[in-house]
C-alpha cells in the first residue's frame, strides 16, 4: 500500500486535523483493499461447461488501478494465463450507488450459480482485455460469487458489496485542502447531472472561470437556477419563480469541504455526493448514472 507520508504530501492538506483525517482514511482504505484482495481470490467450477475458473482482484499502488482477472481451464491443475478476461479500472470510475447483489440460477461462462455483484461505472470506462487483446470498453463489472462461498456462515456477497462501496467512497472523499486546491478540485468536480431522493435533476455546467450554473428540473419543468462562484468563500445566487437571493458561504470545517452561513449549507462529501441544505430542508445530490448493459464475455 502507498507509503502514508507520500500520500499525505501528495494531497497537500494544510492542518494537523486534516492530516489526522487523512491518516485514518488512508488506514481504512488500505485495510479495505487488503480485505477485498483476500476475499475476491478463489477458484470455482462451472459444472455446465465443465470448466474451472480462477477469480483474482488486485490493486496497483503506483497506478491506483484495480485489476479483476478471470482465468479458465478444463482442469484446475492446467490453469494458465492463456484464456482469460481482465478488467482494469480506477475505483473513482465506479458508482457506489449502483451496487447490486443479484441471485444467479444458471451457469454461463465465468458467471455461475450463486450470487452476482453488479457495479456500474459513470462512463464506458472499464478497460477489457481478453486473451491478451484489447476489447471494447464496458460500463459495468460483474463479480460471480459461487454457491459454495454463499453457503458459508458469513454473508459473503453482501460483505463484499459493502467493502466495495466503502473503498469507492474513500477513493473519492473530499477534504478542505486550502483555498487554491479547493477551487481547483471543485472546478473539476462540478459538472454533469445529479439527482436527489425525490427525483429532481440538478444539471451543472461551467459558465465562466470558477463560475457554474445549476438548473434544477422536475421532469421537464425548470424549478430554479443557482449560480456558484468559487473563491475564498462560495457565493450562491439563486433565482426562483417567486424570488431571488444571494448567499455568501464560508468554510466552516478544517477537515471537510463544507461551506455555510446561518441560512444555507453546501457540503461536498465526495466526487459523487453533495449535501445541499437550505430553508430547513436537506437534499442529498447523487451524481446520476445511466450506464446500462448485460454481462458479456464476447
pLDDT digits (tens, 9 = 90+) for 251-297: 988 888 999 999 999 999 988 899 999 988 999 999 875 533 334 44
* 79 falls within a domain: yes
Residue 90 inside a domain? The answer is yes
Give how many domains the chain has, as a whole number. Answer: 2
CATH number of the CATH domain containing 195: 2.40.128
Q: Are residues 147 and 199 in the same domain?
A: no
Q: Which domain holds residue 213?
A: 179-287
Cell triple for residue 120? 456500474
How far, in Å, CA of 244 to CA of 224, rounded? 9
Tell whether 232 is covered by a domain: yes
**pLDDT tens digit string along 88-141?**
999 989 989 899 999 999 999 899 999 999 999 988 899 999 888 889 999 999
Please tell me the predicted confidence (pLDDT) of residue 208. Answer: 94
Residue 34, all three cell numbers: 487488503
- Which of 137, 153, 172 is the C-terminal boundary of a domain? 172
Compute the distance between CA of residue 114 and CA of residue 127 in angstroms, rounded to an integer: 26
Same structural domain, 158 and 38: yes
CA proximity to 287, closest of 219, 176, 211, 191: 191
* Residues 138-154 pLDDT 10s: 999 999 999 999 876 67
* 236 and 105 share one domain: no
Q: Which pLDDT score, from 0 to 100, does residue 271 have?
A: 85
Alpha-carbon gap, residue 253 to 259, rounded angstroms: 8
- Contact between residue 31 and residue 23 where contact means Cβ atoms under 8 Å apart: no
Structural domain includes residue 296: no
Domain assignment present for residue 297? The answer is no
Average pLDDT of span 17-45:
85
Q: Clarify whether residues 149 and 209 are in a common domain.
A: no
Amino acid at each position: 500500500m502507498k507509503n502514508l507520508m507520500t500520500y499525505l504530501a501528495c494531497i497537500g492538506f494544510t492542518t494537523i486535523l486534516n492530516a489526522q483525517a487523512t491518516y485514518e482514511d488512508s488506514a481504512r482504505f488500505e485495510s479495505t483493499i487488503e480485505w477485498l484482495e483476500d476475499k475476491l481470490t478463489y477458484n470455482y467450477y462451472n459444472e455446465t461447461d465443465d470448466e474451472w475458473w480462477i477469480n483474482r482482484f488486485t490493486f496497483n499502488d503506483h497506478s491506483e488501478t484495480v485489476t479483476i482477472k478471470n482465468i479458465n481451464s478444463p482442469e484446475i491443475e492446467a490453469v494458465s494465463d492463456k484464456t482469460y478476461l481482465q478488467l482494469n479500472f480506477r475505483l473513482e470510475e465506479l458508482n457506489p450507488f449502483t451496487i447490486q447483489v443479484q441471485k444467479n440460477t444458471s451457469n454461463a461462462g465465468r458467471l455461475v450459480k450463486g450470487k452476482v455483484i453488479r457495479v456500474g461505472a459513470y462512463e464506458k470506462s472499464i478497460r477489457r482485455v481478453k486473451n491478451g487483446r484489447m476489447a471494447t470498453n464496458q460500463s459495468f463489472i460483474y463479480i460471480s460469487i459461487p454457491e459454495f462461498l454463499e453457503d458459508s456462515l458469513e454473508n459473503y456477497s453482501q460483505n463484499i458489496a459493502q467493502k466495495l462501496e466503502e473503498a469507492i467512497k474513500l477513493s473519492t472523499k473530499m477534504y478542505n485542502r486550502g483555498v487554491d486546491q479547493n477551487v481547483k478540485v471543485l472546478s473539476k468536480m462540478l459538472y454533469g447531472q445529479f439527482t436527489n431522493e425525490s427525483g429532481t435533476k440538478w444539471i451543472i455546467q461551467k459558465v465562466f472561470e470558477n463560475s457554474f450554473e445549476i438548473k434544477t428540473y422536475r421532469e421537464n419543468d425548470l424549478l430554479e437556477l443557482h449560480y456558484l462562484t468559487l473563491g475564498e468563500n462560495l457565493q450562491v445566487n439563486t433565482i426562483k419563480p417567486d424570488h431571488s437571493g444571494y448567499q455568501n458561504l464560508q468554510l466552516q470545517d478544517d477537515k471537510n469541504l463544507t461551506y455555510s452561513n446561518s441560512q444555507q449549507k453546501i457540503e461536498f462529501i465526495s466526487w459523487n455526493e453533495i449535501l445541499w441544505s437550505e430553508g430547513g430542508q436537506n437534499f442529498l445530490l447523487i451524481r446520476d448514472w445511466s450506464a446500462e448493459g448485460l454481462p458479456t464475455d464476447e
